[in-house]
Structure 1
Amino acid sequence: MTVLHLADEGEAADLAAFLSRLLHYDRSAAVRMQSAGTALAVFGRPPSFEVLAVRAVRLAKPYENGLDVTLDRTVSAGELLESVDEAAATATVPAAVTGPPWAGVLPPRRGWQPEPGLPELEELRGLVAAAVAEFKSRTAGLPPERRTRAELDRIGREIWSRTVGDTALPVRAVHAAQALGFLRGTEAGLFSSGAWLRLRTPYGSVAVRRSGLGALDVSVR
C-alpha cells in the first residue's frame, strides 16, 4: 500500500473536490496519476466536455515506493476519493485499472507558450452563463417533434464549439473549467504547445486539442 502525504488539509480537500466533480459526470471515472518529487498531477476526462482536466497537488515529501521514485498509474477515481483523509492530509494509491484510451494520450509536459486574447475571468464566467442560457432557451423552444437527441446535440455542438474572444479556445473548455471549480479567484492564462491549448488557473487546468490539427504533437506516455 502506497500512501501519499499531501502538503496540507487544503490540498487534500481540493483533491477530493476535484474527484467528486469528475464522478458527478461519470460514476465509473478513472484518473491518471503522475508524480515526481513533491508534485502530483491528476488527469481526468469529464465525458460531457471532451477535454482533459488536470489538478496539480502539492505533496509534503517526495513520492517514494521502494526503489521507484516516480508514480504513473491509472486508477479508479472513486477508490482514490474514498482513500483521501482530509484531516490527516493523506491519500492511498489504489490498484491500477485498465485505462480508457484518453489516459494514454496526455498533453506535453513542456514547451507551453502564452497565448494572447483571453478575456478576464469575470467575462469568462459570464460567457459560460450566457451559453447555458442560450442552450436552455433554444431547446425549450423546439416543437415536440424536433426535440430529438440529435437536434439537442447539434445545438450543443454549435454553442460549445464557438471560440473565446480572439483565441482558438472553444467555449466548452471554459464551461468545463467552471463545472470543475477551476474558475475561481482572479487569475487565468491561456497557453499552447503544438496541437494543444491549455486554460490554466491556480485551481486546475483544462487542456484541449486545437481543431484541424489531426494527431500532431501527441504525447503518449
Structure 2
Amino acid sequence: MTVLAPLHFADAREAAALAAFLTRLVHYDRAAAVRLQAGGGALAVFGRPPSFEVLAIRTARLVDAVDLDVTVSAGELLDGIEETAGKAVVPGAVTGPPWAGVLPPRSGWRPVEGLPGAAEMRGAVAAAVAEFRTRDEELPEERRTRAERDRIGREIWSRTLGATGLPLRAVHAAQSLGFLPPAGVEEGPVALFASGPWLRLRTPYGSVALRTVPMTLPVTPGR
C-alpha cells in the first residue's frame, strides 16, 4: 500500500481534535472514508456520517504548506495519528464514495440571519429526540416497523430551524460530532452561511454543510 508523507500539525491539540472527529465518524461507520485537502498551511477533512445526510468538515493547522487532495480510510488515518508528536501518517488512497466528488464551494459564502445560539440549538435537538421517542412508543405493535420509524424520523429532522432553512438533522449532526459547544463552555461564534444551493453551519469546532437542492445527474437516453 502506498503511504504518503506524514502531516505535521501546528501543535498536539490540532492532532487530538482531528483524532476525536475521526473517532466519531468511525463510530457511525467503521468503513468511513474521508477526503483530505491541504494547502497554504491548512488541512480540511471532509466526512459524511450516515443517516445525517450532511458533510462534516474539520480543519487543522499544519506546520508546512503541503499540497494534498486525496480520499483515504478514516480508520486508517485515525490509526496513523500520533497525538503527542503532533503528526499523522496519511494512508494510501481509496476509491472515494460519490459524495467525495461534490464538495461545498471554497468561496462565495454569505451570512444567513436568524440562527439561534448554541444553547437553543441543543434544546431543539433534545426536544426532537424526545418527540421521536414519544411517537415511537405510541405506535401500535402492527406499525412498529423500520419503515414507519424512518418516516417519523424524516418528518422530525427535516424541519427547519426558524426561518434559516437549516434542517434540524444538520444541527443534530453538529452536536453528535462534537461541533456544538457543550453546555457550560464558553460558546464562541456559531454562524450560518449560504452559497448557491449550499448551507454551512460553522462553529469553533467544525462545520456541517448540506445542499438544499438535490444533485441531478445527467441521464443518457437509451439506444
Shorter-chain TM-score category? Answer: over 0.9
Confirm or deny that 1:27 pairs with 2:30.
yes
Q: List runs of 5+ in structure 1 lacking aligned partners.
A: 64-69, 217-221
Aligned match of 1:219: none
Listed one character per residue, the Cα deviations across residues 83-121 of structure 1 (whole Å, up to 9, x for unaligned) are: 000000000111000000000000001100000010111
Aligned match of 1:10: 13
Aligned partners of 1:96, 1:214: CA distance in 2, in Å? 27
Aligned partners of 2:122, 2:72: CA distance in 1, in Å? 31
Residue of structure 2 aligned with 1:199, choices 182, 198, 201 = 201
Aligned partners of 1:214, 1:138: CA distance in 2, in Å? 29
Matches within 5 A, 1:1-150: 1-63=4-66, 70-150=67-147
Measured on the aligned residues, the alpha-carbon RMSD in Å equals: 1.0
Residue of structure 1 aligned with 2:192, choices 183, 190, 193 = 190
Determine what percentage of the aligned residue pairs are the same residue: 68
Aligned partners of 1:46, 1:133: CA distance in 2, in Å? 22
Aligned AA (1:110): S
* TM-score between both structures, scaled by the size of structure 2: 0.91
Q: List runs of 5+ in structure 2 lacking aligned partners.
A: 182-186, 217-223
Aligned partners of 2:215, 2:179: CA distance in 1, in Å? 27
Aligned AA (1:46): P
Q: Is the 8 A contact 2:188 2:204 kept in 1?
A: no
Listed one character per residue, the Cα deviations across residues 52-99 of structure 1 (whole Å, up to 9, x for unaligned) are: 000011112211xxxxxx200000000000000000000011100000
Aligned AA (2:130): A
**4+ long deviations beyond 2 Å:** 213-216
Residue of structure 1 aligned with 2:149, choices 128, 152, 161 = 152
Three-state SS of the structure 1 residue aligned to 2:215 is: coil
Give aligned pairs, total.
208
Q: Is the 8 A contact 1:121 1:187 kept in 2?
A: no
Aligned match of 1:67: none
Three-state SS of the structure 1 residue aligned to 2:82 is: coil
Aligned partners of 1:152, 1:56: CA distance in 2, in Å? 34
Which stretch has the larger CA shift, 184-193 or 31-40? Answer: 184-193
Aligned AA (2:215): A
